[in-house]
Amino acid sequence: MSEIEILPRRFDAPESQALIRAALADLGARYGGSGDETPVDAAEFVPPAGAFLVAYLDGRPVGCGGWRSHGEDGDAAELKRMYTDPAARGRGVARSVLAAVERSARDAGRKRIVLECGDKQPEAIALYTTSGYERIPNFGYYRDAPGCLSFGRTL
């Protein structure tokens, strides 16, 4: 089995954007529309206010995830744009990216991480719940949307 390498990348870097487009296409297939209308700015993922990470297998970008600051007090991070290429699923990429994102947020002083997810993403829900995330009150862009599920955990 190939080793997963996870490296920081700019949110607007070509390999990041290719993975983000694939993630949005996947969400669009599940939910319709563009996949996610949440306002996102590449500047939100620049340290120390956030970070974006890309996972590689055999030198090929196969997954991504990032965090941006959340809330007024600066103690929380919001997980965004978690994705694994279907050809690389089942190899621990998502779990490795999630752990790296959490480390990055913790290293930047964040004490909690939160995320929005939808009820048509059973793989993501399983990943988050088996990684210690618990349901929290909905927040963010989709807080009032049917099927919105929000999760959080202490870092």
Mean pLDDT of the chain: 95
Q: pTM for the full model?
A: 0.95
- The secondary structure of 9-28 as a DSSP string is --TTSHHHHHHHHHHHHHHH
Q: Is residue 74 part of a domain?
A: yes
Q: Is residue 129 part of a domain?
A: no
Domains held by the chain: number: 1
* Residue-range definition of the domain harbouring residue 85: 4-111
Q: Is residue 142 part of a domain?
A: no
Q: Is residue 119 part of a domain?
A: no
Q: How far apart (Å, rounded) are the C-alpha atoms in residues 35 and 69?
A: 22
Whether pLDDT at 67 is above 90: yes
Q: Is residue 148 part of a domain?
A: no
Q: Is residue 36 part of a domain?
A: yes
Q: Is residue 64 part of a domain?
A: yes
Instruction: Return the CATH number at 9.
Output: 3.40.630.30
Confidence of residue 1 (pLDDT cuts 50, 70, 90): low
Look up residue 70 and give its two tokens: 């959340």
Q: Is residue 15 part of a domain?
A: yes
Which has more pLDDT, 75 or 35? Answer: 75
CA distances from 45 to 40, 72, 90 (A): 9, 17, 27
